[in-house]
């Protein structure tokens, strides 16, 4: 008896009104790259908790993807949040961390006081030669970033940073680390985030700068880059590497003054996380579509059982809904709308969806899903992070409800 041909899962198409020829071409390019280049690397490296090779980053740089949102005048692609998320969904469909590394370009670490330097750094960022690590969180400051204790003390024309940072992803491989530190205590009547400023610690890729040591945190997923706890003991940063803008409490209103651009950055990060979560959930959905046809029990492919067909249908509907919403919110941000509540809503909904869908995918795979022989367990581990990082689900709910009710 010949084996019937499996019906391949259909990757999503861009729908009206978002569909343009240029976007379809970009999506197809990212999709092919994810399938042919990223997925084999993820399969080989994730089980070893390995780091993505520099050659992968260079290949992405070659495509211009580290500068998707950087204006063309600085060598970027001059596109919007929509395109940035479009590419990220495709990359995260293969490996979450590769969807994430894209965020470490896009002009990160370029907001210097000196205009010429800022322009030069933007051009480097667009070329994928200025890839950063972000060190905001600390052992005692996560959701409540206003509790950051790392100190920045002025000494002549430099700042001296001392403290402990936790969760700095890609800190060793990066060209710079953006460190949030306290320069002074808040004055009476000021928000708790007053006095917090981001500093640029410029470094050689592959090593830590003088005064900094890093210890790898042993994560259960999100492999592809290492994540570090950093000890800063007198790291010197020139005044020219103090960045403009303030980072506030992730859960707080934009109440820190001069905060609009940072708020916009947080909103973009939220919709980007939603798109990455959709990518991971879609991977689980597509693998299930094949498995339900391959696996037989009781003399039937398990995809003949209505309970499982309906489970797959629910997964497909949830993934499509979350995708439609990230596209809507990305469009709003591209129109210059603040979209604060919407960004928190899409982050909340898409990441909670990814946890549910990857969990269901494991169930549909039975025992085989609970092994390292298949990719489902990777999707499940990676999806689990998405409700925690970039602001937990509870913090997103706080942002949303704070815009609906008076704050207690
Ligand atoms: C793998 C990984 C990678 C990361 N990468 C980075 C990075 O590159 N750079 C960086 O700076 N940080 C990074 N983070 C840190 C991440 O942003 C924090 O883990 C996250 O913000 C939550 O902070 P926390 O872990 O300290 O949890 P906590 O803030 O201690 O929260 C514990 C629990 O309390 C809840 N909670 C806290 N406050 C409230 C409240 N007001 N109301 C209701 N519930 C609340 C939380 O939702 C959570 O359920 C990373 C984290 C992980 C796990």
Closest atom of ligand 1 to CA, residue 143: 29
pLDDT of residue 254: 38
Structure confidence at residue 176 as a pLDDT band (50, 70, 90): very high
Of 129-143, 146-160, 244-258, 290-304, the one with minimum mean pLDDT is 244-258
Taking CA atoms only, the protein residue closest to ligand 1 atom 43 is 394
Q: In angstroms, what is the span from residue 228 Cα to ligand 1's centroid?
A: 15
Percent of the chain with pLDDT over 70: 95
Report the run of H or E that residue 201 belongs to, with start and end. strand 196-202
Could you report the per-residue pLDDT of 50-69, keeping only the tens digit for each? 999 999 999 999 999 999 99
* Helix, strand, coil abundance in the chain, percent, nearest 5: 50, 15, 35
- C-alpha–C-alpha distance, residues 13 and 27, integer Å: 9
Give the residue-averaged pLDDT of 151-176.
97
- C-alpha–C-alpha distance, residues 200 and 124, integer Å: 15
Could you report the per-residue pLDDT of 136-149, keeping only the tens digit for each? 999 999 999 999 99
- Scanning the structure block, which residue is given the tokens 């704070």? 402
Classify burial at 32, counting beta carbons within 10 Å of its beta carbon; exposed 0-12, middle 13-18, buried 19 or more: exposed
Closest atom of ligand 1 to CA, residue 391: 21
Structure confidence at residue 88 as a pLDDT band (50, 70, 90): very high
Q: Round the average pLDDT of the chain to a whole number and report it.
A: 94
DSSP string across 225-279 = S-EEEEEEEEEEEEGGGBBSS----TTS-S-SSS-HHHHHHHHHHHHHHHHHHHH
Confirm or reject: Cβ of 58 under 6 Å from ligand 1.
no
For 120-133, letters b (16+ CB in 10 Å) and e give ebbbbbbbbbbbbb
Could you report the per-residue pLDDT of 314-365, keeping only the tens digit for each? 999 999 999 999 999 999 999 999 999 999 999 999 999 999 999 999 999 9
pLDDT at 2 over 60: no
Q: What number of other Cβ atoms are within 10 A of residue 5's Cβ?
A: 7
Q: For a pocket test of ligand 1, which of 388, 401, 407 has the largest count of ligand atoms closer than 8 A to its C-beta?
A: 388
pLDDT of residue 251: 37
Higher pLDDT, 111 or 259: 111
Taking CA atoms only, the protein residue closest to ligand 1 atom 41 is 395
Give the residue-averaged pLDDT of 81-109.
97
Give the residue-averaged pLDDT of 173-177.
98
For this structure, is 51 an active site residue?
no
Structure confidence at residue 277 as a pLDDT band (50, 70, 90): very high
Q: In angstroms, what is the span from residue 143 Cα to ligand 1's centroid?
A: 5
Which one of the listed residues 250, 318, 342, 390 is annotated catalytic? Answer: 390
Q: Which of 115-119, 195-199, 308-312 has the highest mean pLDDT?
A: 308-312
- Scanning the structure block, which residue is given the tokens 């000890």? 231
Structure confidence at residue 253 as a pLDDT band (50, 70, 90): very low
Q: Do residues 34 and 94 make contact, with C-beta atoms less than 8 angstroms apart?
A: yes
pLDDT of residue 408: 82
Structure confidence at residue 5 as a pLDDT band (50, 70, 90): confident
Give the residue-averaged pLDDT of 285-302.
98
pLDDT of residue 264: 86
Percent of the chain with pLDDT over 90: 90
pLDDT of residue 263: 79
Closest atom of ligand 1 to CA, residue 144: 29
- In degrees, rounded to 5, the angle at the alpha carbon of residue 70 between the alpha carbons of residues 40 and 242 is 105
Closest atom of ligand 1 to CA, residue 217: 1
Distances (CA, A) of 314 to 90, 96, 352, 356: 21, 23, 14, 11
Taking CA atoms only, the protein residue closest to ligand 1 atom 38 is 143
Q: Could you tell me the pTM of the whole model? A: 0.95
């Amino acid at each position: 008896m010949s084996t019937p041909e499996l019906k391949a899962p259909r990757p999503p198409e861009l729908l009206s009104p978002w569909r343009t020829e240029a976007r379809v071409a970009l999506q197809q390019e990212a999709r092919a790259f994810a399938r042919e280049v990223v997925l084999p690397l993820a399969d080989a490296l994730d089980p070893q908790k390995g780091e993505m090779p520099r050659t992968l980053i260079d290949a992405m740089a070659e495509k211009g993807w580290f500068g998707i949102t950087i204006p063309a005048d600085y060598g970027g692609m001059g596109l919007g949040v929509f395109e940035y998320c479009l590419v990220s969904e495709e990359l995260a469909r293969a490996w979450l961390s590769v969807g994430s590394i894209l965020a470490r370009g896009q002009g990160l670490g370029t907001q210097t006081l000196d205009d010429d330097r800022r322009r030069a750094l933007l051009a480097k960022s667009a070329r994928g030669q200025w890839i950063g690590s972000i060190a905001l969180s600390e052992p005692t400051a996560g959701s409540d970033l206003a509790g950051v204790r790392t100190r920045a003390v002025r000494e002549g024309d430099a700042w001296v940073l001392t403290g402990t940072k936790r969760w700095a992803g890609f800190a060793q491989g990066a060209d710079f680390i953006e460190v949030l530190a306290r320069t002074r205590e808040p004055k009476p009547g000021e928000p708790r985030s007053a006095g917090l400023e981001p500093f640029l610690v410029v470094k050689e890729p592959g090593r830590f700068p003088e005064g900094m040591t890093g210890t790898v945190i042993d994560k259960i997923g999100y492999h592809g880059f290492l994540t570090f706890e950093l000890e800063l003991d007198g790291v010197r940063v020139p005044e020219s590497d103090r960045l403009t803008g303030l980072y506030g409490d992730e859960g707080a209103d934009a109440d820190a003054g001069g905060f609009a651009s940072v708020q916009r950055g947080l909103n973009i990060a939220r919709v980007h996380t939603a798109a990455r979560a959709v990518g991971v959930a879609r991977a689980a959905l597509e693998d299930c579509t094949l498995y339900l046809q391959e696996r037989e029990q009781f003399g039937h492919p398990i995809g003949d059982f209505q309970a499982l067909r309906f489970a797959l249908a629910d997964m497909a509907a949830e993934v499509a809904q979350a995708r439609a919403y990230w596209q809507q919110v990305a469009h709003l941000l591209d129109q210059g709308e603040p979209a604060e509540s919407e960004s928190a809503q899409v982050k909340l909904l898409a990441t909670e969806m990814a946890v549910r869908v990857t969990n269901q995918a494991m169930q549909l795979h039975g025992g085989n899903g609970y092994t390292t022989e298949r990719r489902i367990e990777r999707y499940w581990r990676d999806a689990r992070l998405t409700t925690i990082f970039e602001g937990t689900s509870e913090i997103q709910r706080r942002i949303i409800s704070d815009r609906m009710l008076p704050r207690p």
